[in-house]
Every structure is written in C-alpha cells, then in structure tokens.
Amino acid sequence: MSVGGGTSEAVKLLRRPETIRARCHALLRLAEADALLHFALHPERLPAAADYVAETIRQNYPDLAIPYHARWRHFAAGGVDRWGALVARLAGEEPAETARRRIDLCVVAVLLDAGAGPDWAFTEPDGTKLARSEGLGVASLHAFAAGLFSSDPEDRLRVDASGLEALTAEALGAAFQVGPGNPLAGLEGRAALMRNLGAALRLSPALFGRAPPRPGGLFDHLRATATPQGLPAAAILAAVLEGLAPVWPARITLDGENLGDVWRHPLAAPEGPAPGLVPFHKLSQWLSYSLAEVMEEAGIPVLALDALTGLPEYRNGGLLLDLGVLSLRDPALARKVLPVDHPAIVEWRALTVALLDRLAELVRARLGLDAAALPLARVLEGGTWAAGRRIARALRPGGGPPLQVVSDGTVF
C-alpha cells in the first residue's frame, strides 16, 4: 500500500491501524490485570458510560442519522452551512475539482485543529463567536476562503505548496484573530506545521501532483487506488501517513524516519518489533475519516471503515475519566500540566483507543444497530466525543478536560 519503497518494515508496522489497535488493547489487558503504572480500570462502570453515550446520541440525533466524526461538522457549527456557501461560488465546476478543493481545506483545517486553549475564540463578521474545535474549524474555513493558503490570487479557494511555505505565524495569527486578549495555544507550531506541509507536498508528487503540488492531489491518487468495489479506509490512512510523515515536529525517529504521533511506554510491546512504542496517529485518522466523507460524496464507496480506530484525544479520554471507567493511581497528576510524552498520557490515550472499541459495542446494543449501521466514526460523532464534552461542562467551569496536557499544536 506504500507508494515509496524505502520505508522500513518496522515503520510500516507502526503506521498500520491494526498495530494501533493491537498495542492499545495489550495495555488494556494489563489494566485488567491491575498492572498499569498510572491508571486503574473499573470495567463495572462501562455499562453506565454506554448509557450516557446512547442518551447523548438520542439527544443529538433522534433519528439516529449520524454523520461521520469529521472536520465537516465544525464548518457547520451553529447550523450554518459555510462550506455550502463557498461551493455556491464554484457553480458548474467539475465535481472532481470540487473534491480536490474539499481535500485542500480539510487537510489544513485538521492539521490546524489541535487544542486551542481555554482563552481563544474566533468571531465571525456577523458577531458569531466560536471557541475550541468549532472556532478553529470556522477560522480555517474563513482563512481558506480569503486565499491565505493559495499562491494564486486568481484561485483563492485552494491550498498549494508555495502558499503554505510562505505562511508566517504573524499571518496565521492575524487570520485567527490572535492577540493579547485572545491567545491561541501553539501558534508558532501551527504555522511551522503549515510550512512543513508545503515542503511535504513537493516531496511526494505521486500523492499530491505537480502543477501545483496540493493536498487535493490525494483525490486523484485515491481514486486511482480504488477498485470497482470501492476504497479501503486503510488505504486512505496509508496515503495520509506516508504523505504527511515529513510534516510532524521531530520526535521519535526509527530507521531514519520521523514517526509522528508515536510514543514510548515502558510496558508496550516488550518483545517488539519496534518495542516500547505505541502508535496513535490521531490527527491522521481524523483526517482519514474526513476524507472518507469526501470520497463517498464523490461516488467512491469507502470500505472497512472500522479498520481505523477511535481517536485518543481529550474528549473521548475525558469521558472515561469523568465517568469513572478509569481513575488515576496518583490523583495529584490531575493538578499538573503534563507533557504529551508523559507515560501517564500515553497510557491514557492507549486505554481510550481500546475502551472505545468496547464502548461502541455496548452503545450499538442500546440503540439496536449493528457495526454496519453505526461504525466507529459515527459512534465518535454521536457519540463519545459529544458525551465527553457534555460531562466536562457539567463537572468543570469552562468544560476543560480532566487532565491538562501541554500542546504544541500538533497532537491534541
């Protein structure tokens, strides 16, 4: 499935969704044996968590017509179809080019999404004020519409390598209304990520095209990858992980490659290969769910969506902590600000991935739906992410997460 031939087998292993799932479930088995370092598991509380999620789904989607957990939900925050308003400017355009533009927007918007911090918000021209993921999504869409990511003033509604490579933190901050009273966590990291994306587009013409290199080139690659039956979800993730590998900040490297959202845990996969490492690829998987929606609406069915995993971020993980499915062995950790590579955070994220699989089964049973009708991407949206936000708002002023994690703008 890899386009390039130089990637080592160990790196390929860490990019596979089945490895994410296997290593996270291995840590869950240790939790069941009460053998983890930082968290205790309380499985008897999982049914009540499933009740809470099912109740949240019924509140949000009474007809159970749940969309995917994708970036497109945030562009419609407050019930406003902002993407639809942009598409109206493209009347008569070839559907494939509109799909490329959607991928352009989606890639930058997902990469810019990591936690905004509690004090930032975006205000639209009509006065609508949005914070957190919705605010970041809407800010990204407004920046895209203004041509911030395009090098061609005659073709503003696109993203290309030259436009990204020229992006400064100051320009991004201005587009996102950042100021002394409106600080955005990880602004420099976000701008660097955009410039890195521009460079990555040039490195992989087979994925992103040449004239010009743009995220939307993925549409042509994925369309060519599809069979008459459709496109495996894992193929979307494989292309995203390969194409975006140079984008991530330097962290753990293996066989000369930056691993991205992969972290060390002393109890993970002790026998190897790639021992001690737990892959998550949270943003890449969320992007893959978002791109699946684009491909399906372009007439290409996406197959085996549940090959991808749940997303290990603070709403899903927070739900498990706030409802008592997990508890900290040392409650003092909840009063600290922890780096993303802290073993407790790695453990929390791994348990989140594994427990989302179990929670999904219980939620489907409560709603009378099977995995085909309610894949994980819909459980997340309906769903665990919304329920995590709901319980956080009920328990803490401002609705922040139960654990505080230092964000460089590229993980949470």
Give alpha helix (H) positions in 226-342: 233-244, 282-297, 314-322
Q: Identify whether the C-beta of residue 347 lies closer than 8 Å to the C-beta of residue 327.
A: no
Structural domain spans, the chain: 9-405
Q: Identify whether the C-beta of residue 299 lies closer than 8 Å to the C-beta of residue 230.
A: no
Structure tokens at 209: 């095209």
Q: Output the pLDDT for position 5.
A: 53
Please name the residues in contact with 281: beta carbons below 8 A apart, sequence gap of 6 or more: 15, 17, 20, 237, 241, 260, 261, 262
Give the residue-averaged pLDDT of 3-24: 88
Q: Count how many Cα atoms sit within 13 Å of the Cα of residue 290 in the half-sphere of its side chain.
A: 28
Structure tokens at 168: 């400064």
Cα separations in angstroms, 38 against 42, 132, 219, 325, 405: 14, 28, 42, 14, 15
> Residue 227 pairs with which residues in a beta bridge?
230
Cα separations in angstroms, 174 against 36, 143, 178, 193, 348: 44, 10, 6, 17, 35
> In the predicted model, is pLDDT for residue 142 greater than 80?
yes
Q: What is the pLDDT of residues 69-123, one digit of tens each?
A: 999 999 999 999 999 898 888 888 999 999 999 999 999 999 998 777 888 999 9
Confidence grade of residue 3 (pLDDT, cut at 50, 70, 90): very low
Give the residue-averaged pLDDT of 370-389: 96
Residue type, 254: L
Give the residue-averaged pLDDT of 330-352: 96
Q: Output the pLDDT for position 1.
A: 36
Give the residue-averaged pLDDT of 167-179: 97
Query: Which residue in the block uniquely carries the two structure tokens 């993921």?
Result: 133
Q: Which is nearest to 68 in space by CA: 383, 398, 300? A: 383
Give the residue-averaged pLDDT of 243-260: 89
What are the φ/ψ torsions at residue 344 (nearest 5 degrees)?
A: -65, -40
Q: What is the pLDDT of residues 204-215, one digit of tens each?
A: 999 999 989 999
Q: Which is nearest to 380 in space by CA: 76, 30, 39, 61? A: 61
Burial classification of residue 236, based on how many CB atoms lie within 10 Å of its CB (0-12 exposed, 13-18 middle, 19 or more buried): buried
Q: What angle do CA 241, 290, 128 make, to 5 degrees?
A: 125
Structure tokens at 332: 């003092």
Confidence grade of residue 403 (pLDDT, cut at 50, 70, 90): very high
Q: What is the pLDDT of residues 275-287, one digit of tens each?
A: 999 999 998 999 9
Q: Output the pLDDT for position 408.
A: 62
pTM (2 decimals)?
0.93
Task: Give me the percent of the chain exceeding a pLDDT of 90.
Answer: 84
The length of the chain, given as a count of residues: 412
Q: What is the pLDDT of residues 18-30, one digit of tens each?
A: 999 999 999 999 9
Q: Output the pLDDT for position 122.
A: 97
Please name the helix (run of DSSP H) or strand (run of DSSP E) that holds residue 379, with its range, or none.
helix 376-379
Q: What is the pLDDT of residues 92-107, one digit of tens each?
A: 899 999 999 999 999 9
